[in-house]
Amino acid sequence: MSNVADWHVIKVLRDGGGSRPTVMRIQRDGEDQVLKDYAGCDSVFAALLGKLLTRREARALLKLDSAAGVPRLLGQPGSRALYMEWVGGISIKEALTQEIDWPKFLAELENTLRVIHAQGVAHCDLRGLSNILVGPDQTPYIIDFVSCFFSGSRWNFIQRWVFRRFCEADRQALLKLRQRVAPESMNTADAALIVHSGIFNRAMRRVGQGIRKLSLWLLTRQSRTQSGR
Ligand SMILES: Nc1ncnc2c1ncn2[C@@H]1O[C@H](COP(=O)(O)OP(=O)(O)OP(=O)(O)O)[C@@H](O)[C@H]1O
Ligand SMILES: [Mg+2]
């Protein structure tokens, strides 16, 4: 757990363990914030990847400091933890049971994603939908930039090419959401894009899953116990 005692927990949003950080809603500096802390996950993972992942998420949040629909970074109590703005809101799954103006929500969400991409950040983990929140007044929020990919410098053609592919995958994730919650608002081009979702996106997803499984296996005791070792 972090070393600073100027806050108290309101609610644990997600228990840490394995490769997962502890995510808590806390009260700090007189306001609700979120503390995301890798100290709670497996010690080997925390030592090796906790710092790296925290640095990446902090870098993305800093880059996106002026983007509406992304929580503000509010500090780093150590190298493996960060404070960010608590944006409130509910998950898409919960929102599916409520009256939401989906076309309006999706238009704002797409706009937020455009701004994020324009700032040189691809999110890379929007498919599961748990990283999109329906905020107060039905405003969209995109959270959890731990898997993000940066655009790279102007002359880094390979990184920039990969970045554009990840941006495409982000846009397709939103199209999938549109197909689910407001299929009547899809045009033919949208539908065609979904059908041909692209070999690259599927391949990148497999690469991502493979890396995640491999790092879990190598770095956490939990997975080795589960696999009987
Ligand atoms: N800034 C925030 N404001 C409000 N809620 C948040 C915020 N950050 C995280 N949460 C809540 O905490 C949950 C877990 O956070 P996050 O996605 O960053 O961690 P995670 O390790 O990827 O967890 P998961 O696998 O559940 O997505 C989110 O699904 C969301 O409900
Ligand atoms: Mg998440």
The domain spanning residue 48 has which CATH number?
3.30.200.20
In this prediction, residue 144 carries a pLDDT of 96
Task: Check whether residue 27 and residue 100 sit in a common domain.
Answer: no
Q: Mean pLDDT in the chain?
A: 88
Report the pLDDT averaged over residues 54-74.
97
Residues 6+ apart with CB under 8 A from 183: none
* pLDDT for 200: 63
- 134 and 185 inside one domain: yes
**Residue 17 near residue 219, CB atoms below 8 Å:** no
Question: Residue 207's closest CA among 158, 149, 155?
Answer: 149
Domain stop point among 85, 103, 132: 85
- For range 130-140, the mean pLDDT: 95
Burial letters 17-51, b for 16+ CB under 10 A, else e: eebbbbbbebebeeeebbbbbbbbbbeebbeebbe
Which domain covers residue 94, as residue numbers?
A: 90-197
Return d(Cα 119, Cα 137) in angstroms, integer: 25
Please count the structural domains in the chain.
Answer: 2
* Residues 54, 35 within the same domain: yes
Residue 72 and residue 154 in one domain: no
Q: Is the pLDDT of residue 57 over 50?
A: yes
**pLDDT exceeds 60 at position 229:** no
Lowest-pLDDT range of 46-60, 81-95, 208-222: 208-222
Ligand 1-lining residues (CB < 6 angstroms):
13-14, 20-21, 23, 34, 36, 71, 84-87, 91, 130-131, 143-144
Question: What pLDDT shows up at residue 201?
Answer: 67
- The greatest distance separating any two alpha carbons of the chain, rounded to the nearest whole angstrom, comes to 55
pTM given for the model: 0.87
Average pLDDT of span 209-217: 71
Domain assignment present for 38 = yes
pLDDT at 156 over 90: yes
Q: Which ligand is nearest to the CA of 24?
A: 1
Tell me, yes or no, whether 77 and 95 share the same domain: no
Query: 146 in a domain, yes or no?
Result: yes
